[in-house]
Structure formats: C-alpha cells, structure tokens
Amino acid sequence: MKTILLIATDSIRSLLHHRLLLGLMLASLALTIFFSIAMSMARKNITASFSDQATINSVMDSRKMSEADRQTFRQSMEMASSTFQGFFYIVASFGGSLVALFIFGTAIATEIRKGTIRLTLSKPVSRTQFLLGKYMGGVAVMAGYALIASIAMLVFAHFQRMELSPVMRWAPWLMFCRQMMLGSVVLLLSLFVHPVIAAVLAFFSGNGLYSPPNPLYFILPSYSEFDVTMEVLSGTLIAGKDVALLSLYALDFVVIIMLLALWRFRTKDLI
C-alpha cells in the first residue's frame, strides 16, 4: 500500500508540474466562472427589481395576478436561478471530463514515452502497484477539481443570494463518479492505442449514443444517468437511494475496467 501511495503522490506531483494540464484546469474553471457571471448578469436583468421574495409578491399583488399566473411567474423566476446553476454544472462537468480524459489518458502513456517507467519498475514495484498508484493519483486530482468546482458554486450562490437547487447537493459527487468511470475507460484504451484516440473513443463510448435496443448500451458505460442537468433545471430532487445505486454502479464499473486494464498492463511491452 505504501508503494501505491508513493506512486500516487508522485503522480499528483507530476500532474501539478504539467503546464498543459494546469492550463486545461484553469481554462475549465475560468470558463465555468465566465458562464456563471454571464448567467448571473442575465438573471439580474430578468429579475432587475425582483431581488427578493417580498418584492416578487408585491409585484404579483400589484398586477392583480390570478393564482395560475402567479404560479407561472414563480416558476419563471425559479427557472432563471436554476438555469444559472444548470449552466454552471454543464460547464464544470464538461471541463472536468476533459481534465479526466487528459489525466488518465496520459498517466501511463507519458511514463512509457518519457522512459521514466523503466527506473520505477526496476525497483521492487509490481505493475499492479504502478497502475493502481497512477489511477489513485488521478482520482485525487479529480477529487480536488470537484471540490474546487463545488466551492466556486457555493461562493457564487452566496453572493447572488440564490437558493441552490436541491439536486446540487449530489451533483459534484455524481460528476466525480462519472469522471472516474470515464478515467478508467480512457486509461484502459490508452494501453491499446494512442492517448488522443483513446480520449476520443472514451468520450464517445458512453455519451448516450446508444439506447436499450442497441446491445452496445449494455456493454458500454452509461454516463447519462450521472448527468443531473435536467434535475437542476427543473429543480427536482434525486433520492438518496438512487445516488447510492449510481455510486455502486460507478464503483462496480471502475473495478471491472481496472481489472481489464491490469490484465492488459501486465502483458504489455513498456518501451
């Protein structure tokens, strides 16, 4: 375990020294913040004078709205808030997927290309320990990404005096689970093909291209279940039980893919 943790720590260190990756992460976060600001400005325009519930109520009273109109008006106000959150989630999730594809796709391939794997594996380090260490390093970086994205979301919501959509409680965790699945797939594929091809294949392997009649639906990962954009927009809640089931599915999927990756890695020529 000590060896795996050491390789994971080294992997994090190496990723933090990777200019392209840092650029990608910063660009992803900057894009998220940019979209958030743009959305919040749009929201401000919509709700120019309706900054709180009391004002909204007074507007509805002054307009002598019927109950049905009031309902529609309230929904449109809630929609403006959830659209902001939805955009934030989409951009953070997409950016995170790109970062995951980059981190896991290059984790082994870069070590082989640079030749650094030779010195590491000349020490009493098994290939299994090496692969697991590399994966864990990626997991730690992605957890950091999810954490930063969550904090950014909370800070924005606080300054906008906005109530978070109920599903946002689980959104970062589900985004993280999805990225771990994507990461394991790209890691496996990168042991067969060039990392860029692996990233493209992994990205399109489970993006809802296949529906149940297609046998590929049952073989390829189903990431769409982890996408809560619609729930964020509609303000609906995901049951804790569903989150637990999705987490189990992700764990199960990652274990299977990592076993396949281990089998491939143990027989691969590392030069």
Partner 1 sequence: MAAIHTENLSKTYGGGLRGKKSVALRGLTLEVREGEIFGFLGPNGAGKTSTIHLLLNLIRPTSGSASLFGLPVTDAEVHRRVGYLPESVNLHDYYHGRKLLNFYAVLAGVPDAARSGRVAEMLRLFALEDAADKVVSKYSKGMAQRIGFAQALLHDPDLLLLDEPTSSLDPVGRKEFRDILLELKRRGKTVFISSHILSEVETVCDRVAILQQGELKRIGTLQELSAGRSTKFIVKSLPAPALESIAATAAEITLAQGLVTIRCQNESCRKEIECLLELHGVQITQRETVAQSLEEIFFSTINSSKTS
Alpha-carbon gap, residue 56 to 72, rounded angstroms: 12
- Sites for partner 1 among residues 118-147 (CB under 8 A): 118-127, 129
Counting contacts by CB under 8 A, is residue 10 touching partner 1?
yes
What is the Cα–Cα distance from 42 to 29, expressed in whole angstroms?
20
Identify which of residues 4 and 149 has a Cβ nearer to partner 1 in the complex.
4
Decide: 40 and 160 in contact? Cβ < 8 Å: yes
By CB under 8 A, residue 267 contacts partner 1: yes
User: Cβ distance 84 to 50 under 8 Å?
Assistant: no
Please give the Cα distance from 135 to 71 (Å, whole number).
49
Which CB, 124 or 213, lies closer to partner 1?
124
- Return the number of the residue (90 or 201) whose C-beta is nearest partner 1: 201
SS3 call for 71: helix
**Cα–Cα nearest to 177, from 218, 226, 109, 117:** 226
**Interaction with partner 1 in 208-237: which residues (CB under 8 A)?**
none
Q: Segment near partner 1 (CB under 8 A), from 1-9, 55-63, 79-87, 205-213?
A: 1-9
Contact between 58 and partner 1 (CB under 8 A)? no
Query: CB of residue 108 vs partner 1: minimum separation in angstroms?
Result: 13
Whether the CA torsion 264, 98, 220, 227 is positive or negative: it is: positive
Q: What six digits make up the tokens of 100? A: 């995951």
Binding residues for partner 1 restricted to 60-119, rule: CB under 8 A: 114-119
Residue with smaller CB distance to partner 1, 10 or 78 = 10
Footprint of partner 1 (CB under 8 A):
2-3, 6, 10, 13-14, 17, 114-127, 129, 267, 269-271
